[in-house]
């Protein structure tokens, strides 16, 4: 494991950054920072800083606002690296330095998005306000200007965009045929909104809005549980629901993480017990029922291994630890393309795979998992 991690980190550090996007560079920088710290190899930390500086140079208005492929993601990576600094040797040159607030420009764009009355992706993680909120949560760690106020404004917009249902509230999905289904996943749907709201409730942000919204959204999501105990990825009007593949982005695992967050933040046993039940059931799923995951984080072995590991840390249920080890093992045996051809990002590339490996062997809490709406506390 240690050797596989070292090989991956060294290969990525030596790979040509060529025409890589700003987010790929920033995500590789996050991975090399954590890998360098765990492996005690300062040259990896130095390379991490070089890649982060390149990412900032390449981040421009054409990058879009996505959390995984746009400006918000680059800003998140920089804030994350500043909030979780590397131990430094005094003799080591820093290579570069920041102004007071290197992500101020992105922050202003996010602020604009938040007051925009008709954003395309109202309530989702990858491209929407929840993703902007994930950036603001990272900025909050550094006591950045306006972060608390902006998080409260995002909660306000989520409340405004919520649709009342029989069981509670949900949100309109962003895709073009969105009128016909409810998206229940972490990456684009209500599980993501729930995990985010749970964090706001825990931080005491706008509780008069976030507590009732979280309660009603949790009730609505819970109502979609299938007879066999799992959750669909989407719920279509007038069509029988089908079980989702096993992944971080859609299905049982992400739903379990969101419901656990809701239960602990609201201090209610029911969502937490449901979360444990769903997670333990998901741990028993085999390769075929999981939908043949790839190696990456989003819907792959790295995301499964890490999410099961985190849920075991939170829930203390043995089958979750066994599942984490099994998926880690499976991921290690999957062939991966070399670093000069593979994607580098945290969502579907080498940085996400590498960070899951660091988490598997390092005693340090995986604070980077906030990018995926997962928290170790
Ligand atoms: Zn996915």
Ligand 1 mean position to 249 CA, how many Å? Answer: 4
Ligand 1 mean position to 105 CA, how many Å? Answer: 29
Ligand 1 mean position to 185 CA, how many Å? Answer: 9
Ligand 1 mean position to 72 CA, how many Å? Answer: 19
The upper half-sphere exposure of residue 339, i.e. CA atoms within 13 Å in the direction of its Cβ, equals: 19
Ligand 1 mean position to 22 CA, how many Å? Answer: 21
Ligand 1 mean position to 40 CA, how many Å? Answer: 32
Residue 92, pLDDT score: 41
In terms of Cβ atoms closer than 10 Å to its own Cβ (0-12, 13-18, 19+), residue 45 is buried
Q: Which residues pair with 182 in a beta bridge?
A: 235
Of residues 361, 285, 269, the one with CA closest to residue 9: 361
Ligand 1 mean position to 290 CA, how many Å? Answer: 12
> Are residues 371 and 346 in contact, defined by beta-carbon separation less than 8 angstroms?
yes
C-alpha span between 29 and 44 (Å, rounded)? 9
Ligand 1 mean position to 321 CA, how many Å? Answer: 22
Ligand 1 mean position to 102 CA, how many Å? Answer: 30
Of residues 309, 327, 324, the one with CA closest to residue 365: 309
Map the chain to HEC letters.
CHHHHHHHHHHHHHCCCCCCCHHHHHHHHHHHHHHHHHHCCHHHHHHHHHHHHHHHHHCCHHHCCCCCCCHHHHHHHHHHHHHCCCCCCCCCCCCCCCCCCCCHHHHHHHHHHHHCCCCCCCCCCCCCHHHHHHHHHHHHHCCCCCHHHHHHHHHHHHHHHCEECCCCEECCCCCCCHHHEEECCCCCCHHHHHHHHHHHHHCCCCHHHHHHHHHHHHHHHHCCCCCCCCCECEEECCCCCCECCCCCCCCHHHHHHHHHHHHHHHCCHHHHHHHHHHHHHHHCCCHHHHCCCECCCCCEHHHHHHHHHHHHHHHCCHHHHHHHHHHHHHHHHCCCCCCCCCCCCCCCCHHHHHHHHHHHHCCCCCHHHHHHCCCCC
Q: Residue 5: CB partners within 8 Å, gap ≥ 6?
A: 35, 38, 39, 354, 357, 358, 361
Ligand 1 mean position to 313 CA, how many Å? Answer: 23
Token pair for 48: 């991490």
| Ligand 1 is an ion; residues with CB less than 5 A from it | 249, 298-299
CA dihedral 264, 124, 312, 270 (to 10 degrees): 40
Ligand 1 mean position to 365 CA, how many Å? Answer: 24
Q: What's the pTM value of the predicted model, to 2 decimals?
A: 0.94
Ligand 1 mean position to 245 CA, how many Å? Answer: 10
Ligand 1 mean position to 143 CA, how many Å? Answer: 32
CA angle 218, 305, 253 (to 5 degrees): 20
Ligand 1 mean position to 89 CA, how many Å? Answer: 39
- Name the one residue in this structure whose structure tokens are 């709406």: 373
Residue 350, pLDDT score: 97
C-alpha span between 264 and 287 (Å, rounded)? 31
Q: Which residues pair with 169 in a beta bridge?
A: 164
Ligand 1 mean position to 168 CA, how many Å? Answer: 26
Residue 89, pLDDT score: 45
Ligand 1 mean position to 247 CA, how many Å? Answer: 7
Ligand 1 mean position to 221 CA, how many Å? Answer: 19
Of residues 91, 93, 89, 103, the one with CA closest to residue 55: 103
Q: What is the pLDDT along the chain (377 residues), one digit of tens a residue?
A: 999 999 999 999 999 999 899 999 999 999 999 999 999 999 999 999 999 999 988 887 677 888 999 989 999 999 999 888 665 444 443 433 444 566 776 667 666 655 554 455 678 999 888 999 999 999 998 888 789 999 999 999 999 999 999 999 999 887 766 667 899 999 999 999 999 999 999 999 999 999 999 999 999 999 999 999 999 999 998 899 999 999 999 999 999 999 999 999 999 999 999 999 999 999 999 999 999 899 999 999 999 999 999 999 999 999 999 999 999 999 999 988 899 999 999 999 999 999 999 999 999 999 999 999 999 98
Ligand 1 mean position to 251 CA, how many Å? Answer: 10
């Amino acid at each position: 494991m240690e050797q596989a991690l070292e090989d991956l980190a060294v290969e990525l550090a030596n790979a040509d950054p060529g025409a890589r996007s700003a987010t790929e560079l920033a995500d590789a920088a996050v991975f090399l920072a954590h890998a360098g710290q765990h492996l005690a190899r300062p040259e990896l930390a130095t390379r991490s800083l070089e890649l982060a500086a390149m990412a900032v140079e390449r981040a421009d208005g054409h990058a879009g606002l996505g959390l995984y492929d746009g400006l918000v993601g680059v800003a998140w990576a920089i804030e994350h690296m500043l909030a979780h600094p590397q131990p430094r040797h005094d003799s080591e040159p820093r290579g570069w330095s920041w102004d007071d607030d290197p992500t101020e420009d992105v922050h202003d764009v996010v602020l604009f998005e938040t007051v925009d009355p008709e954003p395309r992706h109202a309530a989702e993680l990858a491209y929407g306000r929840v993703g902007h909120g994930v950036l603001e949560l990272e900025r909050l760690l550094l006591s950045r200007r306006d972060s608390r106020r902006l998080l409260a404004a995002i909660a306000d917009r989520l409340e405004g965009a919520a649709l009342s249902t029989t069981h509670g509230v949900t949100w309109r999905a962003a895709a073009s045929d969105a009128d016909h289904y409810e998206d229940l996943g972490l990456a684009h749907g209500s599980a993501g909104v729930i995990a985010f709201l749970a964090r706001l409730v825990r931080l005491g942000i706008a509780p008069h809005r976030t507590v009732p919204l979280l309660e009603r959204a949790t009730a609505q999501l819970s109502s979609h549980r299938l007879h066999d105990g799992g959750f669909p990825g989407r719920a279509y009007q007038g069509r029988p629901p089908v079980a989702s593949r096993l992944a971080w982005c859609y299905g049982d695992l992400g739903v379990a993480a969101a419901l656990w967050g809701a239960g602990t933040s609201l201090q209610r046993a029911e969502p937490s017990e449901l979360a444990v039940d769903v997670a333990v059931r998901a741990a028993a799923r085999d390769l075929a029922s999981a939908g043949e995951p790839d190696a990456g984080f989003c819907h792959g072995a790295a995301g499964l291994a890490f999410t099961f590991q985190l849920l075991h840390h939170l829930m203390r249920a043995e089958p979750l630890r066994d599942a984490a080890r099994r998926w880690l093992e499976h991921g290690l045996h999957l062939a991966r393309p070399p670093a000069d051809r593979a994607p580098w990002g945290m969502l579907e590339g080498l940085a996400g795979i590498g960070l899951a490996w660091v988490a598997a062997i390092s005693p340090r809490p995986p604070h980077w998992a906030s990018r995926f709406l997962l928290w170790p506390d």
